[in-house]
């Protein structure tokens, strides 16, 4: 079901997004937004990045990476709308698309509440769709969530060099709602580089290791934190905002509880 669109709406950054009377073709530059649109209105998605893995079996033209999309190919797909994220995509690529006359909707998401509100606006105001059931369900499960026992954690996102989630990140907000305080939540940088010795001396009682952007595994990551319980988690549940938000609280809580 589609709903009428105004000629111009505004994205999360306040930038105007001039839209046609009906949006029929959308190119997504972020995996979580790709899943959001593909699950909500499968026929709407006209292109996605090489890193867009969900829904499984997604069969749409690929337009390169999130940081290095093929702008010419995107323009050639003649989208009515391109969707991206201020953290994932480069301003220069967004500017190039807009200069070519392509409407671009940028999301800016750092908390679960922002994700729920942003996705609702994107789908209804940007794509002209009705609010999907999964989005209402996601809002319900997060509103009803009871945090687990208080714990403190470090959350590496890369190694060589080691980098961790710092201040004002979506990851940090997700964990906080589950009862896990990010040791580096007060760091002045959002993704600081921290030497491994300092990480091990940070006083955390848990290390949370996602499988993206760096693919931490049981053999690659936990050994760097001797004596510290490690929770290996899916980045899709820890860092994505979209249909995965429905199951994320349960899946993450189970993984965190197992790390003792």
The pLDDT confidence band at residue 248, using thresholds 50, 70 and 90, is: very high
The pLDDT confidence band at residue 8, using thresholds 50, 70 and 90, is: confident
3-class DSSP state for residue 153? Answer: strand
| Single residue among 140, 156, 179 that ends a domain in this structure | 140
Q: Look at residue 7 in the predicted model and tell me its pLDDT.
A: 66
| Single residue among 140, 174, 199 that ends a domain in this structure | 140
If asked whether residues 242 and 174 sit together in one domain, one would say yes
The pLDDT confidence band at residue 75, using thresholds 50, 70 and 90, is: very high
pLDDT of 4 above 80: no
pLDDT of 1 above 70: no
Query: Which CATH number covers residue 52?
Result: 3.40.50.1980
Q: Look at residue 256 in the predicted model and tell me its pLDDT.
A: 96
Digit-coded pLDDT (tens) for 114-168: 999 999 999 999 999 999 999 999 999 999 999 989 999 999 999 999 999 999 9
2 located within any domain: no
Residue 213, domain extent: 146-258
Q: Look at residue 260 in the predicted model and tell me its pLDDT.
A: 84
If asked whether residues 117 and 153 sit together in one domain, one would say no
108 neighbors 85 (Cβ within 8 angstroms): yes
1 located within any domain: no
The pLDDT confidence band at residue 238, using thresholds 50, 70 and 90, is: very high
Backbone angles phi, psi at 199, to 5 degrees: -60, -45
34 located within any domain: yes
* DSSP β-bridge partners for residue 188: none
3 located within any domain: no
pLDDT of 2 above 90: no
Residues near 131 by Cβ (< 8 Å), separated by ≥ 6?
120, 123, 124
| Single residue among 81, 116, 140 that ends a domain in this structure | 140
If asked whether residues 207 and 132 sit together in one domain, one would say no
DSSP 146: P
35 neighbors 56 (Cβ within 8 angstroms): no
When pLDDT is averaged across residues 91-110 and rounded to a whole number, the result is 96
If asked whether residues 13 and 89 sit together in one domain, one would say yes
* DSSP β-bridge partners for residue 8: 18
Q: Look at residue 211 in the predicted model and tell me its pLDDT.
A: 96
If asked whether residues 49 and 126 sit together in one domain, one would say yes
Q: What is the mean pLDDT of the chain?
A: 94
pLDDT of 33 above 60: yes
136 located within any domain: yes
If asked whether residues 47 and 83 sit together in one domain, one would say yes
If asked whether residues 43 and 123 sit together in one domain, one would say yes
**Considering its fold, how many domains does the chain have in total?**
2
If asked whether residues 153 and 126 sit together in one domain, one would say no
If asked whether residues 47 and 153 sit together in one domain, one would say no
47 located within any domain: yes
If asked whether residues 49 and 162 sit together in one domain, one would say no
If asked whether residues 194 and 172 sit together in one domain, one would say yes
If asked whether residues 82 and 60 sit together in one domain, one would say yes
203 located within any domain: yes
Helices marked H in 66-148 — which ranges?
71-76, 91-99, 112-121, 133-143
Digit-coded pLDDT (tens) for 201-233: 999 999 999 999 999 999 999 999 999 999 999
């Amino acid at each position: 079901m589609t709903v009428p669109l105004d000629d111009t709406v505004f994205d999360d950054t306040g930038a105007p997004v001039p839209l046609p009377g009906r949006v029929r073709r959308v190119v997504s530059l972020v995996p979580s937004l790709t899943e959001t649109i593909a699950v909500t209105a499968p026929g709407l998605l006209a292109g996605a990045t090489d890193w867009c893995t969900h829904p499984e079996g997604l069969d749409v033209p690929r337009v390169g990476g999130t940081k290095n999309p093929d702008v010419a190919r995107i323009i050639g797909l003649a989208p009515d709308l391109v969707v991206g994220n201020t953290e994932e995509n480069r301003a220069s690529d967004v500017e190039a698309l807009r200069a070519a006359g392509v409407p671009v909707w940028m999301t800016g998401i750092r908390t679960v509440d922002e994700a729920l509100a942003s996705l609702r606006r994107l789908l209804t105001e940007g794509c002209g769709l009705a609010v999907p059931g999964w989005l209402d369900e996601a809002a319900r499960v997060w509103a009803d969530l009871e945090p687990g026992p208080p714990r403190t954690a470090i959350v590496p996102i890369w190694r060589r060099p080691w980098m961790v989630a710092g201040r004002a990140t979506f990851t940090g907000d997700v964990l906080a709602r589950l009862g896990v305080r990010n040791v580096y939540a007060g760091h002045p940088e959002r993704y600081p580089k921290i030497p491994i010795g300092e990480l091990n001396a940070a006083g955390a009682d848990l290390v949370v290791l996602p499988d993206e952007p760096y693919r931490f595994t049981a053999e690659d990551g936990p050994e760097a934190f001797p004596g510290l319980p490690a929770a290996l988690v899916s980045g899709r549940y820890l860092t994505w905002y979209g249909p995965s938000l429905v199951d994320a609280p349960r899946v993450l809580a189970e993984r965190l509880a197992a790390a003792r």
